[in-house]
């Protein structure tokens, strides 16, 4: 057991134990654990009298494995779609690979050993070759080679595959789950997935998200857990084994609340964000990282209205590379499958500091060296991000948004850099998609010249937090001023109104991505002003949708 | 023997699935078909070999066809590379 992950007995009950993992999907599951064992160590080396017969056994097992994979492919096609099912087609081809077959046949012939052992050793060798490759995608293929080899071994040993779970729904616990294992599981009997290994992009994680059930990875669960009652808390990323009565009651209550929320979601899901008088507006999600996409989709976001790219810089000890950024942006774009994803370029400085930028300490950082001001000064850093964004735009519907704008000149410079990046990519033969450009309206200056700015871009997104602080000259961070900080101040609302008018006069759509967007007491006011889009945190989407559907924009 | 040099433009490089499809195409011909990258040459009719090259976007590969139907093989495989990778 890994002591780092073990939080020990929790006060109150002798047996209650808590384990930490990384959540890949939120939710609560309560039920018995089912530990799926791996039997790959069960293969013994034995000497055989007639190697030719072993070769025939292997060939038959291989053909049967291919036939099984063909069936799994068909099942997966129905359940998880073409893209996820394709891997089983590749598995069939791997079983026909001549290097793989020759290695097994040679081992049987020259060493006079059993087919099981020859398959196991060859599988290990090939999977090590992939594990050693300098590419995360190829590294992950090591599991595929193990998977096909284990299938052939299981057939040779006359064993049935996984999938028999009994009648009661269970929490599945395993070292790692191969795609062929997860697809064979009876989905109606699975409450949650817990794995020791795997990544947030593994098949299991993707499956959990599709099935809408909580799942944790990287959990050092105990081997003796089989059959014991456990709780999976997807939000906190913990597994609690043998909970005491209080904990169990608390979680049963939370689960009921979740279900209530889910019921509301079901009721409002798929319904348009349309007012009583028939005006429809876009309702998008604000996210701060790749992991939030699942919540955005689960809450029926029409797109991503604000993807804060800072997390890439804040989580890193050095400047994130173009490749790292490209992967993150691409993942979000792909997961949103053609829905709009508005990514805000780097917005650090002020209250968000990053060590390796070596920014000097300022007396008044909110009005200091931050966001686009840094980007237009540190062109190398900015261009790395723009290149990653344009490359990722090929995989979905990406828009780019610049923060902290106060002048037309800044927008022109940023646009020039975008053009430069596009030219570079064209020269390199790298594809990119159609990208809408927009700006944050969060300074009074930007509001006052919004008619000029609107001619330069395709959309505005109003950042009400900063706009309020700059308009009212009230430091957000100063608690002594909380009593006079009025987010409904008429000056702020007039700023918003003016921005919408200027935007519309010049063909820009206008959204709100600040906290005010989720303030349901203002939803009707915004609709009246003609706001085209509201971007709110995922958990607020359905509440705001509810408000929109009960509003009248002509009032 | 026919030879053709090509730079991969697919952003994903040669992933498992495209490798599989390519191998299937190559297996249709009786001539020897190989792909090489940075001097490492593999049999293009074997999926593990092709995947093992770890070909990424921007990499240059050399396709060789050698044998009776090399003209037809080269013509089709070249077309396949250009259209899909």
Residue B85 at interface with chain A, using a CB cutoff of 8 Å: no
All residues of chain B having their beta carbon less than 8 Å from the beta carbon of residue A127 are: none
* Chain-chain contact of A431 with B57 (C-beta, under 8 angstroms): no
The per-residue pLDDT for A383 is: 97
What residue in B sits closest to A429 (Cα-Cα)?
B9
| Band (A200; pLDDT cuts 50, 70, 90) | low
The per-residue pLDDT for A285 is: 95
The model carries a pTM of 0.53
Which segment of A169-173, A384-388, A426-430, A473-477 scores lowest on mean pLDDT? Answer: A473-477
| Band (A85; pLDDT cuts 50, 70, 90) | confident
Q: pLDDT digit string (tens) for A211-242?
A: 778 999 889 888 788 888 999 999 889 999 99
Q: How far is CA A29 from CA A76, A168, A169, A203, A538, in A?
A: 25, 13, 10, 20, 21
Q: How far apart are the C-alpha atoms of A10 and A94, rounded to whole Å?
A: 48
pLDDT for A515 beyond 60: yes
Q: How far apart are the C-alpha atoms of B64 and B32, rounded to whole Å?
A: 8
pLDDT for A322 beyond 50: yes
Beta-bridged to residue A511, according to DSSP, are: A461, A533
Confirm whether A489 is a catalytic residue.
no
Residues A41-49 have a mean pLDDT of 79
| Band (A262; pLDDT cuts 50, 70, 90) | confident
The per-residue pLDDT for A347 is: 92
CA distance, residue B1 to nearest chain A CA (Å): 23
| Band (A445; pLDDT cuts 50, 70, 90) | very high
* Chain-chain contact of A138 with B11 (C-beta, under 8 angstroms): no
Residue B57 at interface with chain A, using a CB cutoff of 8 Å: yes
* Chain-chain contact of B56 with A133 (C-beta, under 8 angstroms): no
The per-residue pLDDT for A473 is: 94
The per-residue pLDDT for A2 is: 40
Confirm whether A513 is a catalytic residue.
yes
Determine how many CB atoms are found less than 10 A away from the CB of residue A256: 11
pLDDT for A295 beyond 70: yes
Length of chain B: 85
**Residue corresponding to tokens 């790292």:** A324
Determine how many CB atoms are found less than 10 A away from the CB of residue A480: 7
Per-residue pLDDT of chain B (85 residues; tens, 9 = 90+): 888 888 888 877 888 888 888 888 898 888 999 999 988 889 999 998 888 888 888 888 999 999 889 988 898 888 888 888 8
All residues of chain A having their beta carbon less than 8 Å from the beta carbon of residue B12 are: 137
- Most B CBs within 10 A among A137, A143, A433, hence the mutation to make, goes to A137
The per-residue pLDDT for A281 is: 95
Residue A140 at interface with chain B, using a CB cutoff of 8 Å: no
Q: pLDDT digit string (tens) for A415-444?
A: 999 999 999 999 999 999 999 999 999 999
CA atoms within 13 A on the CB side of A95: 25
Q: Are B43 and A98 in contact (CB under 8 A)?
A: yes
Q: Which of A33-37, A137-141, A307-311, A388-392 has the highest average model confidence (pLDDT)? A: A388-392
Residue of B9, B12, B15, B67 with catalytic role: B15
Q: How far apart are the C-alpha atoms of B24 and B18, rounded to whole Å?
A: 10
| Band (A61; pLDDT cuts 50, 70, 90) | very high
Q: Is A521 exposed, middle or buried (0-12, 13-18, 19+ CB in 10 A)?
A: exposed
Residues A445-474 have a mean pLDDT of 96
* Chain-chain contact of B43 with A130 (C-beta, under 8 angstroms): no
Identify the residue with better confidence: A385 or A354.
Answer: A385
Tokens of A487: 């987010």
* A101: Cβ contacts below 8 Å, ≥ 6 apart: A62
Q: How far is CA A218 from CA A32, A87, A172, A212, A442, in A?
A: 19, 24, 14, 19, 41
DSSP string for A284-343: EEEESSGGGHHHHHHTT-SSEEEEETHHHHHS-SSPPPHHHHHHHHHHHHHHTTTSEEEE
CA distance, residue B2 to nearest chain A CA (Å): 24
The per-residue pLDDT for A395 is: 94
Dihedral sign, Cα of residue A519, residue A521, residue A523, residue A528:
negative
All residues of chain A having their beta carbon less than 8 Å from the beta carbon of residue B9 are: 429-431
pLDDT for A4 beyond 50: no
pLDDT for A156 beyond 90: no
The per-residue pLDDT for A42 is: 65
Residue B16 at interface with chain A, using a CB cutoff of 8 Å: yes
Residues A74-87 have a mean pLDDT of 78
All residues of chain A having their beta carbon less than 8 Å from the beta carbon of residue B44 are: none
Residues A528-538 have a mean pLDDT of 94
The per-residue pLDDT for A372 is: 95
Strands A6-9 and A170-174: unpaired
Q: Are A492 and A471 in contact (CB under 8 A)?
A: yes
* A509: Cβ contacts below 8 Å, ≥ 6 apart: A458, A459, A460, A503, A532, A533
CA atoms within 13 A on the CB side of A77: 9
CA distance, residue A127 to nearest chain B CA (Å): 10
Q: How far apart are the C-alpha atoms of A437 and A429, rounded to whole Å?
A: 22
What percent of chain A is modeled with pLDDT above 70? 92
Q: How far apart are the C-alpha atoms of A281 and A286, rounded to whole Å?
A: 16
The per-residue pLDDT for B16 is: 81
Residue B43 at interface with chain A, using a CB cutoff of 8 Å: yes
Q: Is A378 exposed, middle or buried (0-12, 13-18, 19+ CB in 10 A)?
A: middle
């Amino acid at each position: 057991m890994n002591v780092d992950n073990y939080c020990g007995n929790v006060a109150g009950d002798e047996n209650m134990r808590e384990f930490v993992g990384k959540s890949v999907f939120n939710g609560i599951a309560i039920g018995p654990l089912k530990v799926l064992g791996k039997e790959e160590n069960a293969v013994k080396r034995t000497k055989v009298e007639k190697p030719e017969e072993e070769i025939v056994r292997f060939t038959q097992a291989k053909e049967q494995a291919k036939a099984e994979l063909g069936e799994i492919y068909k099942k997966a096609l129905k359940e998880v779609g073409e893209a996820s099912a394709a891997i089983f087609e590749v598995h069939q081809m791997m079983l026909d690979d001549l290097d793989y077959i020759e290695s097994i046949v040679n081992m049987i012939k020259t060493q006079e050993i059993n087919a099981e052992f020859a398959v196991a050793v060859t599988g290990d060798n090939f999977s090590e070759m992939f594990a050693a490759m300098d590419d995360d995608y190829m590294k992950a293929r090591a599991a595929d080679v193990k998977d096909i080899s284990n299938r052939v071994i299981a057939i040779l040993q006359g064993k049935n595959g996984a999938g028999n779970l009994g009648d009661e729904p269970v929490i599945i616990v395993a070292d790692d789950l191969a795609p062929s294992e997860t697809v064979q599981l009876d989905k109606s009997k699975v409450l949650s997935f817990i794995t020791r290994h795997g990544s947030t992009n593994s098949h299991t994680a993707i499956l959990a998200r599709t099935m809408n059930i909580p799942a944790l990875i990287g959990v050092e669960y105990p081997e003796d857990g089989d059959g014991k009652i456990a709780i999976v808390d997807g939000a906190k990323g913990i597994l609690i084994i043998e909970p005491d009565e209080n904990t169990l009651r608390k979680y049963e209550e939370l689960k009921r609340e979740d279900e209530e929320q889910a019921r509301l979601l079901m009721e409002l899901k798929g319904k348009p964000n349309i007012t009583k008088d028939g005006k429809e507006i876009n309702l998008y999600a604000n996210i701060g990282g790749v992991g939030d996409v699942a919540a955005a989709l689960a809450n029926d976001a029409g797109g991503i209205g604000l993807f804060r790219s800072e997390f890439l810089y804040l989580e890193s000890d050095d400047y994130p590379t173009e490749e790292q950024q490209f992967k993150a942006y691409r993942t979000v774009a792909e997961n949103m499958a053609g829905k709009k994803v508005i990514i805000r370029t780097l917005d650090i400085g002020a209250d968000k500091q990053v060590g390796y930028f070596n920014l000097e300490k300022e007396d008044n950082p909110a009005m200091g060296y931050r966001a686009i001001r840094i980007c237009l000064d540190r062109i190398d850093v900015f261009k790395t991000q723009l290149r990653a964004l344009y490359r990722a735009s090929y995989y979905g519907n990406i828009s780019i948004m610049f923060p902290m704008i106060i002048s037309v000149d800044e927008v022109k410079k940023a646009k020039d850099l975008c053009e430069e990046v596009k030219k570079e990519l064209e020269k390199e033969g790298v594809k990119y998609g159609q990208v809408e450009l927009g700006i944050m309206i969060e300074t009074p200056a930007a509001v006052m010249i919004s008619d000029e700015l609107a001619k330069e871009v395709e959309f505005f997104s109003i950042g009400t937090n900063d706009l309020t602080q700059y308009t009212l000259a009230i430091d957000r961070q100063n608690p002594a001023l909380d009593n006079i900080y009025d987010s409904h101040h008429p000056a702020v609302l007039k700023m918003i109104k003016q921005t919408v008018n200027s935007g519309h006069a010049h063909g820009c759509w206008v959204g709100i991505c600040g906290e005010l967007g989720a303030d349901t007491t203002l939803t009707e006011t915004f609709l009246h002003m003609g706001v085209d889009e509201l971007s709110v945190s995922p958990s607020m989407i359905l509440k705001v949708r509810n408000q929109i559907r009960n509003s009248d924009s002509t009032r | 023997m026919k030879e053709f040099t090509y730079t991969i433009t697919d952003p994903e490089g040669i992933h498992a699935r495209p490798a599989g499809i390519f191998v299937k195409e190559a297996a249709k011909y009786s001539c020897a078909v190989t792909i090489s990258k940075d001097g490492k040459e593999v049999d293009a009719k074997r999926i593990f070999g092709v995947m093992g090259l770890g070909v990424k976007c921007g990499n240059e590969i050399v396709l060789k066809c050698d044998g009776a139907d090399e003209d037809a093989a080269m013509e089709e495989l070249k077309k396949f590379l250009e259209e899909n990778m």
